Amino acid sequence: MALIVCPKCGKSISDKAFTCTQCGYVLTAEDKIGKADLPSVICEDCGEIIPNEATICPNCGCPVAVNKLTADEKVIPQQVELTKISIPLFKKKSFWISFIVVVATVGILVFGLKAYQNKQAEKYAQTYYTNLQLASSTMLTGASEAESVGNLIHDVWYNAIYDKYDITTNIYTKGASDFNDALANLFADDSFKNRIESIEANQIKVNSQMKELKNPPEQYAEAYDELNEYYDLYTEFVNLVISPNGSLQSFTNNFNDLDAKTANAYKKINLYFD
């Protein structure tokens, strides 16, 4: 059995009753339908049940309180709102997967770059070795020609002073008043001038090759130092031949000294080659 409110007096009566026990109001079927299920408000002053639609208590006239518990109202459990839990980035699986991928990618790039640099360094070292040999052989060619030309200069000079006859030098010394005329005849000769020009061209080529060898790989640093000494002697030697000066004695001494030193320097640099 459930209680309903009499629509006339507002008293609580059974939903099974046919008339209100308080005022005698005859209840209709419409009065009972759904009334037992409608929530009612309890008056704060007299304690009587107030119809849901009423704004004042029909028993004592007290205004209906707003937001009060109804007679049939059940306590609704408080709903707990779930908030998103923030998980530290370093504890997330996705973070570590991304981290490993990045580290692996960087490692591959570094390894690839290192391999590329090593390959380039090896290629440069091979090229450098070839150029080192080429510069050495080019200097040898120039020094050999300078040696031959220098000997001819010496013979013309000597024969002109001492009036020595020689089939090779006679064309320069014959008719010359002194050694200066003989040497002038020699340097005016077209064939001899071509030989001097070839020595000068060789020197220009060697200078260019030496510029390309300024930055030696570590394994060829010592060889480059030896080549530099060879180059200095070679340069001094060919310059002496291209422009001879001093007396016959000083020229001869300088020529023989540089000739021996240049040959010895070539032998030393040649030890670095297979």
Give per-residue pLDDT as tens, 7-57: 778 777 777 777 888 888 887 877 766 554 445 667 777 777 776 666 777
The fraction of the chain above a pLDDT of 70, given in percent, is 81
Helical residues (DSSP H) of 21-87, grouped into ranges: 29-32
Comparing C-alpha atoms, which of 254, 267, 255 is closest to residue 139?
Answer: 267
Alpha carbon distance 115, 131 (integer Å): 24
69, 40 Cβ separation under 8 angstroms: no
Q: What is the longest distance spanned by two Cα atoms in the chain?
A: 175
Return the DSSP state at 69. P
- In the prediction, which pLDDT does 14 show? 79
Q: What is the pLDDT of residue 251?
A: 97
Q: How far is CA 271 from CA 53, 149, 267, in A?
A: 119, 27, 7
**Which is it for strands 41-42 and 3-5: parallel, antiparallel or unpaired?**
unpaired
Render pLDDT for 191-218 as a digit per residue (tens, 0 to 9).
999 999 999 999 999 999 999 999 999 9
Using one digit for the tens of pLDDT, what is the confidence trace for 244-255? Answer: 999 999 999 999
Domains of the chain: 1-83 (no CATH), 94-270 (1.20.120)
- Residue 112: band (very low, low, confident or very high) from pLDDT cuts 50, 70, 90: confident
Q: What is the β-pairing status of strands 12-14 and 3-5?
A: antiparallel
